[in-house]
Structure formats: C-alpha cells, structure tokens
Chains A and B, each alone.
Chain A
Amino acid sequence: MIDLLAHLKTMLSAAGLSGFESPIREIVHEAWEPLTDALMVSKIGSLHGLKTGQGPEPRRRVLISAHMDAIGLMVTGIQGGLLRVTQVGGIDHRILPGQLVTVHGRETLPGMVVQPPAHLLPQEAGDGPVALPYLLVDVGLHPESVEEKVRVGDTISFSQEPLELTGEALAGHTLDNRVSVAATTLCLDELNNRAHDWDVWAVASAQEEATLGGAFTSPFDIRPDIAIVIDVCFAKGPGSSDWRSLPFGEGVGLGYGPNIHPALYRLFEEKAKAFEIPYHRDLMPKMSGTDAMAIQVVAEGIPCMVVGIPLRYMHTPVETVSLKDIRRAGRLMAAVIADLTPDALDQIQWEE
C-alpha cells in the first residue's frame, strides 16, 4: 500500500523547476523502482518506468504522462544584495509579494519575494499590482555573501509547506502536477495486483510548464499505441465558477475535445461508470493545456486521453486538491489499463 499523503509530501518538498527536474526525478525514481520492471531517463530529463504486461508479444503499449516539473522563478540579477527575478512557467505576479521561496544557489537559501515601496519604483508602477521586473527576492544575507552564493540563472522554488485542510483537502505549491505523479504511483501499485496484457510506460515528464519538451520526446522514444495524460484541472472555487471548473473533491475530470480521442473518452467513461468512480466531463473546446497537446502529434499521431484532478487556485503556492480525487484517478487509470485486451486497439477507431 502506498501512503498517499506521505508520498505526496515527499514530492512537494523536492525542487524541480521546468528544465531542472533532477531533485524530483530522483524521488519519483525511488517511488517507482519497486513498482516497475525498468526505469530510464530520457534525453530531455523525463523519467520512464516500464511495467511489462502479460500479453503475448509483440505487446501493445500504453503511456501514462504526468508532468513532474514545477513553476517558479529564476534570478536575473543582483542589486544591493537583493535578487531580481523572472518567471519559469505562468505566474500571476499579483500572488508573488510576500511569498516564501527557496533560492537554489551554491547553497540552498530560504528567502521571500518582496514588493518595494512605490517611491523606489517608476511612476505609477507602484500603485497597482507591482509587475514582476520590479519585485525582489530577499534572502536575509548581507550583500557580499549574496554575491558569493547566488548567480544569475539560479532557480527559485516556492517554499509554502503543504497544509492539510479539512475533508482530505491538501494545500501547497506544485500540487500541479505532483498530484498526478502520485495518482500514477497509485495506478502502478494497483496494477501490481492485477494482470494486464499491455506494457505500461509511466512517464514523469519534464518541462510541461515551459516547452512541453518532455511530452514531445518521450512518446517518440516509447511509441505507445495510446496515451493517458494525467494533469490537474480547474476546481470550482473563489474566482473560478464557470463551465471550465469542476466541483471540488467530487470526482475526476474526463477531458473532452480535440486533444482527446473520442473512443478513449468513451472507454474511460464506461469504466468510470462500471467501477462507480465519480467523474465529470471536462470540456476542452480547443487545446487541453496539457502534455496531450504534444503527445497527440508525435510521430504519426497518438490517440490521447486526458484525466483531470480538480484543483483550486492553480499556479499559486496554495493550490488545493482533494486526496479523494487523486485516489479516484489512480483507480480509474488502473481499471482501464487492466482491461486492455491484446486487440483492444481495434476498438479505438474513428467510425461513429
């Protein structure tokens, strides 16, 4: 049995900004080692875990893609012992002032993002939300030791500790998308107890938040017959109440739109119903904003499904998720994969 909360907290404490995934990759490697038959690292830094199927060779392959990279900041300059920064991944600058961070310099340095007073900024820059180029990071050290320990290009992670709220809700940074890595771990664990014909390739992908680099390259290596992308989706909450948002903690999202193969959608919906796993159709009329955007168009094209874990406050350090939905996502993926027969691909067709 996987201790989901402990596994998740270990992952949340690891750094791993897009392009700098080594710390989180090592942790996922450790978690997947007992659950897989082989592990390898792709040229771009994604982790590939193979769990061999029991079907006759040549076996079909299903790829699960859960990106492990985090959004964060990067040092662009040092001025008077304070750091100027830019963003890695999409961050609303309005959530930055006062955030606690960890600067990955020659030493690991705790620090915080600070908003200078208006009189130190260009006219009008200080009245409303202060734009990112004007924000600073303070590590509490004297200027000369900052110069020694920090260089331009060093990455900066959020350092908000995970918080357990009521009702199995967990808040913290980088739940996007470590919760999906955790769901993949649960899925692999469940598949240890269930026969499956297909080879399962679990991928903790790199650089989703920046370039989709992992999602473009791993499927090329692996050449899966189908791909399941698992990522967070929007949960209803303050400021997020329209059709794009699913109820919080009340089931997984099943992506529906151009990035998703309709036959795979039907397969997931059937399995969710059969196993009484609550779900909501997650409408994605254009791009899904996930690894599926890349995977779908790798090589000659790959049928994709997107499974979503509803999350509040996406891309803030207090992203909030329900552990229930993580477990549901893991169970659903395992249920689908265990039932993939050697000739299941015949059903994944476009005839209406």
Chain B
Amino acid sequence: MTKKLEISAGQVPEVGASQIALLEKLCNAVAVSGDEHEVRQIVLEEIKLIADEVRVDALGNVLATRFGRGENRVRVMLAAHMDEIGFMIVKKHDEGLFEFERVGGVDERQLPGKSVMVGREHRPGVIGAKPIHMTTADERKKKIEVSSLRIDLGPEIGDQVKPGDRAGFATRFEVLGPSLRAKALDDRLGVATLIELLKHAPDQIDLLAAFTVQEEVGLRGARVAAYALDPDMAVAVDATPAYDLPHWDEDDENDRFNTRLDAGPAVYVMDSATIPDRRLVNWLVETAAQEGIPCQLRQPGGGGTDAGAIHKTRAGIPSVSVSVPIRYAHTAASIARLDDWANSLRLLHSALSRVTPGLLAGERRD
C-alpha cells in the first residue's frame, strides 16, 4: 500500500491557489447526473493518498474513510454531490442537429444561445435560437420550448455523437475579483471542500466522506452511501441560491433572499426535504460565533440537499446541511465569493474539531 500523506492532518485548511486550481478542474469537468465519471476520476486521484479506505459503490458514489485515533470516535459522514444538471442527447436529426432532454432542474429560459460540451470528448456544440428577425412580438412573450431547440455540432459530426451522450454547459471557470464564476459550483464547491477536509481531518473523529451521485435527480446516491457508511451523524455540504438581488421596485425590500453573498456559510434550519437535528444546527452556529467565522442561517423554505435522503436512512441519522451561497445556480454560470467558500471550509473544520460523543448523547431535543 502507498504511504499516506500525513503532513496536514489537523491543520486548518485554507483556500489558496492550489484549492482554486482544484475547484477549477472540478468545475470544468462534466458530470451530468448518472454519468459522474469525470469528477469521480478527479476525486479518486485527489484522495488516494489521503484516505484510509476508498471504494466506489454500486451507484458510482466514492466512499472514503479517514480514521481518527483514540477511543469513542464519532463517525461523521460528510456528503457532497459530484453530479450537475445538464442534458442527454435523445435524438439525432439531419445536418449535425440533435434533440436533447434536460437532466435535473434547468429553467428552459436559460438554454437558448448557449454553448455546450457533448460526450466524454467535450465536443463543442451550441444551442441556437431562431433569429429575432423571424419572430413576432407575440412570440417573444412566450418561452422558447425546449422541444424546439437543438444542439448543433456542425454538419460533419457523423456518428461521433449518439443518443445517450450527456452534455453540459461549456462555461469556463474564471475568477472575477472577489468572486468565482463557473458552471456546476453546485456542488463542486462541496466536492472541493470535502477533499480539503479529508486532507485536514481532525483526529478525534472518523471522517466518512461520500462524494455522491444523482443528487440532482432525487438524492439517490446519498441514500445508499449513508446506509453503507452507517454514520453517527451527517453533514451535507452543498451550494444554495443567494437571491440577494435588488427588488425591481426600489422602495420594496427583498426579504426573500434565501441566502446572501458575503454573509458566510449558510446553515439550514429547514428545507423541503429535511428538518435538521437542532443540536447540529446549534453546534455549527455556536462554533461560528466562538471562532468569529461569518455564518448565516438559510431562510427556511424549499430546496433540499443530500441530507434529505441521509436523515431517513437506517433507523435515522442526525443530519444538517451547510452550503456555500451562490447566485444563479442551475444556469450556465454561477457566481460565488471566495470568502464564503473559505469560511465554509473553516467553519466545517472547526466544527468537526469540536465533535464529541456528547454532541448527540441522549434523545433528539429542540
């Protein structure tokens, strides 16, 4: 067996050039739900020297364990999903044109006029739209139906692309001042965070990292991952929308922002899939307060993370979610702040360092 890297155990992880480079590689890879190969390969390569055990399960989840030292170690599962929203080619038409279906929740209004990467070879394609010159004013009041759109790969694509191939948005990762702009920040931010936490795992716990599949089509990977890992508690590490844009009417306040950029990691108190164990919510919020790490409560409401599947697995697994706030999730490009990501990583590392068997001793209480 290869000798493990021991250099960084317990140190506080930071977001620097190498972490950004890793995130860039993760974001530029395409891993549409059900075909997570590219991201899985990056993850396996990154963690092979760090984890004590690594396996790929029946659905394609990467399950990695890093054991701590000493007695009474709490088994903490961290879950971040590898998959992203995207498309599947479903029908070939003439002249290099292909019909496609959406995979995951993609607003159809985000499709016309975008470039995409098709298949493992990342073949360039575009989703065009009818020229404005040929539309009527009435027509422009209606959405462009997905069924009318095609992915265009050029007239000589031949059999290089076939129905069944996946496609993702072709946006390239970029740093914009204090921000990151990339596709699939949901949830490559979580994947990169988990890799860093594995590298810097505190010693008093067993860290069970699940890089999950098929989150965007029903939290399917997380369910079997949680069963297999059988943890004492779980944290889903994800990205959540920041709807912190100005209200159209300047006199009207935007009071439904879900989360805000620059306000730090978002801790969940309730979404449509999970009512987290309040002991874990308090654990995170108190850690943030004591360590002086910015942190926000996600406004209770819709949405969901892998925690939605994990907390109902086996006899129940106390779970909570922490997300990096991002704008424009599930579109060709999202925007996140570097500081929010760094603070998410700090908060999780600090909180994991404080986990004791006492955290979950006794019955669930509010």
Contacts and interface: CB of A to CB of B under 8 A. Distances in A.
Given A97-B109, A167-B156, A318-B127, A92 B140 contact: yes
B68 interface: no
A134 interface: yes
Nearest to A173: B113
Interface in B279-327: 327
B178 A163 contact: no
A164 interface: yes
Q: How large is the interface on A (under 10, 10 to 19, 20 to 34, 35 or more residues)?
A: 35 or more
Interface stretch (A140-148, A298-306, A332-340): A140-148
A165 B152 contact: yes
A166 B96 contact: yes
Contacts, number: 213
A324 to B, nearest CB: 10
Interface string A112-139: 1011110111100100111000101011
A76 interface: no
Given A92-B135, A120-B254, A129-B109, A142 B333 contact: no
B96 A167 contact: yes
Contacts of A315: 131-133
B245 A80 contact: yes
A166 B245 contact: no
A80 B248 CA distance: 11
Nearest to A115: B109
A240 B333 contact: no
A165 B126 contact: yes
Contacts of B107: 97, 115
B141 A128 contact: yes
A234 interface: yes
B328 interface: yes
A236 to B, nearest CB: 8
A322 B152 CA distance: 13
B332 interface: yes
Given A141-B176, A166-B157, A171-B115, A313 B129 contact: yes
B126 A129 contact: no
Given A129-B109, A165-B153, A160 B245 contact: no
A95 interface: yes
Contacts of A140: 176-181, 335
Nearest to B327: A138
> Main secondary structure on chain B at its contact with chain A?
loop
A237 B93 CA distance: 11
Q: Give the residue among B114, B128, B134 with the most A Cβ atoms within 10 A.
A: B128
B34 interface: no
A284 to B, nearest CB: 12
A234 B144 contact: no
Nearest to B93: A238
Contacts of B238: none
Interface string B36-74: 000000000000000000000000000000000000000
Contacts of B153: 165-166
A320 interface: yes
Contact of A313 (B113, B141, B177): B113
B91 interface: no
B333 A163 contact: no
Interface in A296-352: 312-320, 322
A13 interface: no
A116 B248 contact: yes
B164 interface: no
A175 B188 CA distance: 34
Nearest to B131: A314
Interface string B104-137: 0001011011110000000111111111111100
Contact of A98 (B133, B149, B179, B328): B328
Contacts of B141: 128-129
A79 interface: yes
B261 to A, nearest CB: 9
A281 interface: no
Interface string A228-251: 000000101111100010001100
Nearest to A244: B134
Contacts of B110: 97-98, 115
B3 interface: no
Nearest to A166: B154
Contacts of A125: 248
B126 A320 contact: yes
A94 interface: yes
Given A95-B129, A111-B176, A248-B155, A316 B112 contact: yes
A206 interface: no
A167 B150 contact: no
B149 A238 contact: yes
Given A79-B246, A115-B109, A129-B140, A92 B331 contact: no
Given A140-B176, A167-B96, A318 B114 contact: yes
Contact of A82 (B140, B148, B170, B245): B245
Contacts of A139: 176-177
Contacts of B160: 166
B148 to A, nearest CB: 6
22 contacts: A79-B250, A80-B245, A94-B129, A96-B113, A99-B332, A112-B328, A112-B333, A115-B109, A120-B247, A120-B248, A128-B143, A138-B335, A166-B155, A167-B96, A167-B156, A237-B128, A237-B152, A238-B150, A239-B148, A315-B133, A316-B128, A318-B152
Interface of A: 79-80, 82, 90-100, 109-112, 114-117, 119-122, 125, 128-130, 134, 136, 138-142, 145, 160-161, 163-169, 171, 234, 236-240, 244, 248-249, 289, 312-320, 322
Given A120-B245, A120-B247, 16 more contacts: A80-B246, A92-B112, A100-B332, A114-B245, A115-B109, A117-B245, A125-B248, A136-B246, A142-B177, A165-B124, A165-B157, A166-B153, A237-B95, A237-B128, A313-B113, A319-B128
Interface of B: 95-97, 107, 109-110, 112-115, 123-135, 140-144, 148-150, 152-158, 160, 170-172, 174, 176-181, 243, 245-250, 254, 256, 262, 327-328, 331-333, 335
